[in-house]
Chains A and B, each alone.
Chain A
């Protein structure tokens, strides 16, 4: 099944403090409210610019820094459907998989802000509908595919005890 959406482009080393700053932690009892502060330290109006189904596209080392799981959670809560980057910091990568947010490793150099993308996770392909280009997705290992197909680690654990 394909996902269609518009690109919000970021550079290298986007840390989880930028995704959701520490000072908003007190809002964590209400994820919808917390999500309105997504990327607020970089752009106070970022939340208003998101259309449901949009994608985040970063460079190298996306999601570095703090282990806060709120970072991928506010991305998902904001209506964003996937994060694409050349590489991910490992805790953010795990956290995203664990909550069912696809994190996609691919060459993001040719993707620009505002581009329309079509992403087909099963075929492992990203089509840039504005540029007419295509990128291959680095396939997930089996365990990640299983967790993502269940919708996250919590759902996986409901039926399996890591046996």
Chain B
């Protein structure tokens, strides 16, 4: 019987042929922790009192609340620093960037890999033809101690994205649209396998944006087939051999869905649910107090370029606050070289250090009561940015940048 990408990756990590719904014990290639859940993970690992299985399969990233805003956070982060030093585990320090940018960017992820992380957006690496998914701290401890984890091999839903994306419509609009169509529970326990010309035509940065948000529809993974574009991108980041995992032609899918995106328009997720999605047109003119450009969804160089193109030579609206958070140090440096940061600063933006910014809800731009935030992040839950009296809208970097000019929601296609 033919296999999906997910079934092939699990088979390769279980030492036997497996299929959807099998309960399996799989070898894990890489496990990710960060400052937000790291201290709890370390406490549980210490209680288990077993040796670390393989330090080279572990990476910690300081990204969620950096630099530390309080003594409590400093203590939590200090625990991660001491643990990684003691066990000689790779640690990306504060300012290096967000885990979901650093791991792909620095060549830690290859097609066919099986990765877990104590962050729900670990699903991002599906864009690199890998299986990756979020777990909790105790699951991470299991991997630290054994190198393995149990899984139910998910059923796969195949989603074909057909047509050609119109000008002024971006990867973020694609995934918001799909969220609106499938809902927040539309792919619960399932893997999504993306395919079709729209995916083929996306740059790798944009593919990461799409895979990043599949967890918002409940999916365990959002995998893309990979192509020459991906191989070229990876070759500049790793010396390791790259082998794409393709689905069999007779693979069995739970469901096959087709969407033609040739007429897609800019999308927005309204408060307070990720699947409360409508065409941007419905909220044009609504007052906005703060814009957030960054996060593991949309803090990449391509995103900053789009914003700079809209804001170059212009000034953001009086009273509006535009926070720009490049997803990594490398991106920040590149944005400086390209003049993007100067353009954004001249327009009135505030640039924060690489990291999760206000999306983690603990610092770096907590909104006031009743304020409206337009964000490129992936979640708009009540209280997500640290104040449950604020209202968060999710949209593309172009929408955030265009709206910064007036302090109201603007269609970016009318600004270019």
Contact = CB atoms under 8 A, between A and B. Distances in A.
Task: State whether these chains interact.
Answer: yes
Interface of A: 12-13, 15, 17-18, 21-23, 25-29, 41-42, 60-61, 64-70, 87, 89-91, 94-95, 98-99, 141-143, 152-154, 157-158, 161-162
Contacts of B220: 90
5 contacts: A15-B379, A22-B361, A64-B216, A64-B218, A87-B188
Contact of B379 (A17, A25, A91, A142): A17
B23 A141 contact: yes
Contact of A29 (B36, B39, B137): B39
Contact residues on B (Cβ < 8 Å of other chain), bracket: 35 or more
A68 B48 contact: no
B384 interface: yes
B10 to A, nearest CB: 15
A161 B144 CA distance: 11
**Interface-central residue, B39, B216, B362, by most chain A CB under 10 Å:** B362
Contacts of B152: 141
Contact of B381 (A18, A70, A95, A161): A18
Contacts of A61: 184-185, 188, 218
A143 B76 contact: no
A22 B218 contact: no
A89 B275 CA distance: 15
Contact of A26 (B37, B72, B148, B383): B72
Contacts of A65: 120, 379, 381
Given A29-B72, A87-B188, A161-B145, A22 B386 contact: yes
A41 B388 contact: yes
Nearest to A73: B40
B185 A87 contact: yes
B361 A15 contact: no
A28 B136 contact: no
B383 A21 contact: yes
Contacts of B388: 21, 41
A156 B138 CA distance: 11
Contact of A69 (B37, B150, B188): B37
B65 interface: yes
Interface string B6-48: 0000000000000000010100000000001101100010011
B382 interface: yes
Given A68-B36, A95-B138, 12 more contacts: A22-B384, A25-B36, A28-B76, A60-B185, A64-B184, A65-B120, A67-B118, A87-B185, A89-B188, A90-B218, A95-B139, A157-B145
B189 interface: yes
Nearest to A22: B361
A15 B381 contact: yes
B135 interface: yes
Contacts of B122: 67
Interface string B357-383: 000111000100000000000010111
A60 B186 CA distance: 11
A154 B148 contact: no
Closest 8 CB pairs of A and B: A22-B361, A26-B72, A95-B136, A69-B136, A61-B185, A41-B383, A98-B138, A41-B388
Nearest to B24: A143
A162 B142 contact: yes
A21 B141 contact: no
A150 B245 CA distance: 38
A70 B146 contact: no
B237 interface: no
B164 interface: no
Nearest to A88: B188
Nearest to B68: A26
A26 to B, nearest CB: 4
Contact of B141 (A26, A89, A91, A154): A154
A22 B360 contact: yes
A69 B146 contact: no
Contact of A158 (B36, B48, B73, B149): B48
